[in-house]
Amino acid sequence: SKLEPCQIIIFGGTGDLTHRKLIPAFYNLLEEDLLPKEFTIVATGRCIDNREEYLKSLYNSLQKFVSREIKEEVWNSLKGRIYYKCFDILEENGCKGLKELLDSLDNKYNIPNRRIFYLAVPPRFFGTIVTNLDRYKLLDFSGDSWSRVVIEKPFGYDLESACDLNKQITKVFPEENIYRIDHYLGKEMLQSMMVIRFANLLFEPLWNNKYIDNIQIISNEKVGVGDRGAYYEKSGALRDMVQNHMLQILSLTAMEPPADMTTESIRDEKIKVLKSLSKFDNVDEYVVRGQYEAGKVDKEEVIAYHDEKNVSSDSKTETYVALKTFVNNLRWSGVPFYIKTGKRLSTKLTEVIVEFKSDFHPAYQNNSTNLSPNLLVIKIQPEEGVYFQFNAKEPGSKEKIVPVKMDFCQNCQVGFNSPEAYERLMHSVIIGDQTLFTRWDEVEYSWDFVDQIADFWSENQKNLPKYPAGSNGPKEADDLLIEDGRKWWDV
């Protein structure tokens, strides 16, 4: 893992992701001295062809999206390395033009053809871009040179299209040079998950069906679809959040300890979890969807999903999913994993809640106080940390038992700034570490899981409950747990 001089080529350089996430990430990396000595960022996209104007727009975005104060000297040295030019990479001339520019920058900075191609464009372009990079000889895998490709989500629309896309990409890039983004893997507490599980005596011995009653993986959002209606109509919450982020969290939570901490050993264990997910005999019994109606989020009136821009007025797209599944192996047999995620909910909150069994001393079981179970909560965002709830006697009372908590908040410490997910991910690509990216078979098995739900829904359009924006989602999602004698712990 080395910081070797390289060029980073962004397709989609004028896009939202570049402004919000990528350039801020490079800025932070540069400030922390985590970029190679020699590098360039070559952005290409819409034809503005005015470098000064482009740099100005990036600077404005930095002001908005970097949480610390922008240091002029850091920005000046970053901007000296940013090149913008519009090339139509779908055309021969565009490819040749880009190649000339990259070759000349290689010479200028003495970089031996090491290139990271970042595809921050709509997925329908992924295949053609990769094919053209090869055809017009922008890639080099020999000697000291290397070429890597970073692919944004969504990786396909279903298993079949994901396979097609993967075929196109692997024709050109070997698997070890492909970085499939799931930005949740860049989040601090998800990286901490293995440490919490395997570097503590307290948790691992209990991490199984003997002591755990159920696990809840929750990602609530307050935002609506915004101006992504056209994309979201085809995707919905299932493809947008469950296929990738939620199943990644699940596999890190449920996997067996890897043989060692190498990328492939970790991925091998995650894959086993995805392979062990139960097949649904009746999707309706296990999966609830919903769509937001107009309502109020943080006291602000917001419109219904079906009134959003580029959304059909009788849209059947789900903005909310809650489901129950099982990991069919020795460790987890019989333990339900509940997943839920939705937009326009009352809170912005991502967490994993481990609910332990309520096997207490009989003397306390009969107690009318109705004891709470022990909960271990991995708080992913907005607060990062770990929370443990257990029972204690209420001070002063004779026998009243109350739940109390130990709460570790990692990002509450003054002056502490967790690195942004994209910062971590970009650094990983530069040093050639694939741990925080998804291997093809992970994508494959998660589509396999999601397709059975999507296929069922496409044939059964009936059950799409609505929920008011700013609420906690449809009642049906609560019923999913009530029927099992349980409840969601995030509300």
Binding positions for ligand BG6, rule: CB under 6 A: 153, 221, 240, 350
- Minimum CB separation of residue 443 from ligand BG6 in Å reads 14
Q: Which of 245, 306, 361, 427 is catalytic?
A: 245
Pairing, β 385-393 against β 39-44 = unpaired
Determine the Cα angle at 461 with ends 457 and 463, to 5°.
95
The Cα 273–Cα 277 span in angstroms is 7
Please report which helix (H) or strand (E) contains residue 16, including its range. helix 16-17
Is 46 assigned to a binding site? yes
Peptide bond into 474 cis (omega under 30): no
Tokens of 94: 């565009």
Peptide bond into 395 cis (omega under 30): no
- Minimum CB separation of residue 240 from ligand BG6 in Å reads 5
Q: Using the 8-state DSSP alphabet, how is residue 177 labeled?
A: G
Is 144 assigned to a binding site? no
- Minimum CB separation of residue 153 from ligand BG6 in Å reads 6
Q: How many helices (H) and strands (E) does the chain have?
A: 16, 17
Is 268 assigned to a binding site? no
Is 240 assigned to a binding site? yes
Is 221 assigned to a binding site? yes
Query: Closest CB to ligand BG6 among 269 and 420?
Result: 420
Alpha-helical regions (H) of 278-328: 283-286
Query: Closest CB to ligand BG6 among 177 and 350?
Result: 350
Query: Closest CB to ligand BG6 among 133 and 246?
Result: 246
Query: Closest CB to ligand BG6 among 240 and 442?
Result: 240
Query: Closest CB to ligand BG6 among 347 and 391?
Result: 347
Is 89 assigned to a binding site? yes
Torsion region of 224: left, alpha or beta (phi above 0 gives left; psi -120 to 50 gives alpha): beta
Closest residue to ligand BG6, judged by C-beta, is 240
Please report which helix (H) or strand (E) contains residue 191, including its range. helix 188-198
Is 361 assigned to a binding site? no
Tokens of 69: 């104060």
Please report which helix (H) or strand (E) contains residue 29, including its range. helix 23-31
Tokens of 182: 């799931």
Query: Closest CB to ligand BG6 among 85 and 183?
Result: 183
Distance, first Cα to last Cα, the chain:
43
Query: Closest CB to ligand BG6 among 66 and 371?
Result: 66
Whether 288 and 477 have beta carbons less than 8 Å apart is answered as yes
Whether 355 and 213 have beta carbons less than 8 Å apart is answered as yes
245 given a catalytic annotation: yes
- Minimum CB separation of residue 321 from ligand BG6 in Å reads 12
Amino acid at 196: I
- Minimum CB separation of residue 97 from ligand BG6 in Å reads 32
Contacts of 491 (CB under 8 A, 6+ apart): 472
Is 88 assigned to a binding site? yes
Residue 29 bridge partners (DSSP): none
Q: Binding site residues for substrate, as ranges?
A: 183, 187, 221, 240, 343, 348
Provide the annotated active-site residues. 245
Q: Binding site residues, as ranges?
A: 46, 88-89, 153, 183, 187, 221, 240, 343, 348
